[in-house]
Amino acid sequence: MYVLNKCKEQCARVRGEIELIEDQLKNLGDEEGDIKKEIDSKKMLLSVASNDIVCCNETEVSAQINEYQSILKREFEKANKVKSSKNRIEFRLEALQTELSNAERRLQKIQNVRYQREQQLSSISEDAMKATHWLRENRHLFAGEIYEPMLLEINIKRPEFTRQIETLLSRDDLLAFTCERAEDAGILLRELREVRKWRVNIVTMPDENKRRSIRPSPYPIAELRSELFELSDKETHIHIHMKLLSSL
């Protein structure tokens, strides 16, 4: 769920940036149009003044011509700055559109994988799947984080180790809901087991002292995560991590 949510957040963030940039481009386009009108107007006045120099006061007309030329110069400079800004923003927009396209493809892939895993979870334990849906709709009832079954979260990076990891992680481990707080575990037990009569496994993370008491592993968790598998969040199912580390 963590990876899925992060991907959704990325898509939303990029879409928001794209909207802002599109607004900026619209404003620059409007400004560019106003500058063009001003340039066209001054060009026309300059043309009229150039014709008047023959029949009118040459000094006054020359002063007008110089003024119009100065204005035109400033307007052309403004136009160049606006064009440069547009080019820079359009380049950024193109990069964001590419990022959004990649993020949406990744999101679709994650959603497809997640759907397959939910189907797998449902086939193994319909109660666990129903409990997962219930939890997603009722997270506001809990003070701490509650993690969904690891079966939905774990991603084995090196398939050749799949069987070894499956051996280390029991069926109960893969289907368990993990609570950060004992009081949340009590609420979840009551709501799922007592009220709804669903057969689900609910565990609580060990506290800091218990985690420190587990013997150090020669394989750092960061190395295991990068080489063997990854979870949606580094704190997900700490009790399973500890079991895995102490078993290697």
Average pLDDT over residues 26-53: 80
pLDDT at 227: 47
Average pLDDT over residues 23-35: 88
Contact predicate 142/184, CB 8 Å: yes
Q: What is the mean pLDDT of the chain?
A: 79
Residue indicated by tokens 């709804």: 196
> Is the per-residue pLDDT at 27 higher than 80?
yes
CB atoms closer than 10 angstroms to residue 217: 16
Q: What is the pLDDT of residues 128-168, one digit of tens each?
A: 999 999 999 999 999 998 989 988 877 666 666 667 666 77
Range of the domain at 178: 126-214+239-247
pLDDT at 211: 55
pLDDT confidence bin for 228, thresholds 50/70/90:
very low
> Is the per-residue pLDDT at 54 higher than 70?
no
pLDDT at 61: 63
Read off the CATH number of the domain in which 204 is found.
Answer: 1.20.1060
94 and 155 both lie in a single domain: no
**Is 200 exposed, middle or buried (CB count within 10 Å of its CB: 0-12, 13-18, 19+)?**
buried
**pTM for the whole thing?**
0.54
Q: What angle do CA 159, 165, 169 make, to 5 degrees?
A: 145
Residues sharing a CB contact under 8 Å with residue 235, sequence separation 6 or more, in sequence order: 145, 180
> Is the per-residue pLDDT at 204 higher than 80?
yes
Q: What is the pLDDT of residues 79-101, one digit of tens each?
A: 888 889 889 999 999 999 999 99
135 and 243 both lie in a single domain: yes
CA distances from 248 to 108, 200, 244 (A): 35, 28, 7
Residues sharing a CB contact under 8 Å with residue 129, sequence separation 6 or more, in sequence order: 118, 121, 122
92 and 131 both lie in a single domain: no
Average pLDDT over residues 184-189: 94
pLDDT at 57: 57
**Secondary structure class of 56 (helix, strand, coil):** coil
78 and 149 both lie in a single domain: no
pLDDT at 67: 80
130 and 115 both lie in a single domain: no
142 and 243 both lie in a single domain: yes
Domain end among 82, 98, 124: 124
pLDDT at 247: 40
Domains contained in the chain, number = 2
Domain end among 90, 124, 158: 124
Domain end among 95, 124, 153: 124
pLDDT at 62: 73
Higher confidence at residue 44 or residue 92?
92
> Is the per-residue pLDDT at 214 higher than 60?
no
195 and 206 both lie in a single domain: yes
Q: Tell me whether residue 13 is in a domain.
A: no
133 and 113 both lie in a single domain: no
Q: Tell me whether residue 43 is in a domain.
A: no
